[in-house]
C-alpha cells in the first residue's frame, strides 16, 4: 500500500548541512523541489539538460539566501558511464559525500497505441527515465554510503503502479523504476544509513502534465508547491527507517 504525507510540516532546518542532487532541476516539480530543499538548508546540485533553466533556479536560490547551489549540466540521452564517473569525481572533490538524490528527470514520450510506438522513441524514454538514472546511481553509491543518513528517491507515476493503455514506454519505465527501487532497497538494507523509496507526485500542474492531458484545465490541478511536504519528509531525517516503500505526494483525486 502506498502512503502520503501531504500534511507534513517541515522544521526550518530540516535539510541543514545536507548535500542533495536533484535531476531535472530546471523545470516543473524538480525545479520546485530544488528550491524547497535549499530553503530548508540543503546545498543542492542542480542537474539537467538546459543550462539556462538551471541558471535561473541557481539565481533564485541565491536571491533567497539559500546555501550556494551547484550546476551539473547532463543530458541522460547521451550521457555515458564516463560522464557519471566524472560527476562522482567532481562531487567527491567538492563535497566528499552525498546525502540524497531526487531522481526526477523524465520524458513522457508519446501517448499512442503500442502498434504505432516508434522504437527510437521507446529507447529514448527508457534511456532517460530508467537506464541513465540506474547507471548514475551505481556510480554515486560510494558517495551516498559516506553519508550518515541518505535518502534516494525515485519518481514514479500512477501508470508505474498500474499499466494504462497508450502510455507505452513511459509506463513501462516507471514500472522498471519501481522494480529497481525494490532491488536496490533490499541490497542497501544492511547499510542502515541509506533508504531507497519511490514517490508518485500525482497529477501536478506542469508542462509534462499539460502535454499528456491537453484538454484538461490546469487550474484544477495541485501545483508543485502543494505537493512538497512529502518531498521534504522523504528527503529529510523524519523518514528514517522507511526503506523499499512506495509513497504518494498527494491523495488520489476524487
234 binds ligand NAP (CB under 6 A): no
Give me the residue whose beta carbon is nearest to ligand NAP.
28
For residue 144, which of 73, 192, 213 has the smallest C-alpha distance? 192
User: DSSP readout, 126-165?
Assistant: HIIIIIHHHHHHHHHHHHHHTSSSEEEEEE--GGGTS--T
Query: Which residue, 35 or 147, is less far from ligand NAP as judged by CB?
Result: 35
- Interaction between residue 27 and ligand NAP (CB under 6 A): yes
Rounded CA Rg of the chain:
17
Among 43, 157, 230, 250, binds ligand NAP (CB under 6 A): 157
Q: Is 171 in the site for ligand NAP (CB under 6 A)?
A: no
CB of 97 to ligand NAP, least distance (A): 23
| Residue indicated by cell numbers 540524497 | 100
Strands 246-248 and 3-4: parallel
Q: Which of 22, 28, 243, 245 binds ligand NAP (CB under 6 A)?
A: 28
**Residue 28 to residue 24: CA distance in whole angstroms:** 8
Listed ranges 27-35, 64-72, 139-147, 229-237: which one lies at the site for ligand NAP (CB under 6 A): 27-35
Q: Is residue 76 near ligand NAP by the rule CB under 6 A?
A: yes
Q: How far is the CB of 176 from ligand NAP (least distance, A)?
A: 12
Q: How far apart (Å, rounded) are the C-alpha atoms in residues 183 and 181?
A: 6
Identify the residue among 106, 137, 243, 250 touching ligand NAP (CB under 6 A). 106
Amino acid at each position: 500500500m502506498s502512503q502520503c504525507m501531504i500534511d507534513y510540516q517541515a522544521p526550518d532546518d530540516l535539510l541543514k548541512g545536507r548535500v542533495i542532487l536533484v535531476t531535472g532541476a530546471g523545470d516543473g516539480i524538480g525545479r520546485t523541489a530544488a528550491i524547497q530543499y535549499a530553503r530548508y538548508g540543503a546545498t543542492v546540485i542542480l542537474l539537467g539538460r538546459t543550462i539556462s533553466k538551471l541558471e535561473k533556479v541557481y539565481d533564485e536560490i541565491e536571491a533567497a539566501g539559500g546555501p550556494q547551489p551547484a550546476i551539473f549540466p547532463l543530458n541522460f540521452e547521451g550521457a555515458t558511464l564516463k560522464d557519471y564517473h566524472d560527476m562522482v569525481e567532481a562531487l567527491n572533490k567538492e563535497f566528499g559525500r552525498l546525502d540524497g538524490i531526487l531522481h526526477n528527470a523524465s520524458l513522457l514520450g508519446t501517448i499512442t497505441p503500442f502498434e504505432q510506438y516508434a522504437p527510437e522513441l521507446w529507447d529514448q524514454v527508457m534511456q532517460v527515465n530508467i537506464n541513465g538514472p540506474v547507471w548514475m546511481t551505481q556510480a554515486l553509491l560510494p558517495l551516498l554510503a559516506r553519508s550518515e543518513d541518505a535518502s534516494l528517491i525515485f519518481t514514479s507515476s500512477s501508470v508505474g503502479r498500474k499499466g494504462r493503455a497508450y502510455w507505452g514506454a513511459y509506463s513501462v519505465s516507471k514500472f522498471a523504476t519501481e522494480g529497481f527501487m525494490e532491488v536496490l532497497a533490499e541490497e542497501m538494507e544492511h547499510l542502515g544509513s541509506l533508504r531507497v523509496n519511490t514517490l508518485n507526485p500525482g497529477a501536478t500542474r506542469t508542462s509534462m502534465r499539460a502535454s499528456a492531458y491537453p484538454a484538461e484545465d490546469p487550474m484544477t490541478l495541485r501545483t508543485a508547491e502543494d505537493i512538497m511536504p512529502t518531498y521534504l519528509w522523504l528527503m529529510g531525517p523524519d523518514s528514517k527507517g522507511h526503506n523499499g516503500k512506495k509513497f504518494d505526494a498527494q491523495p488520489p483525486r476524487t
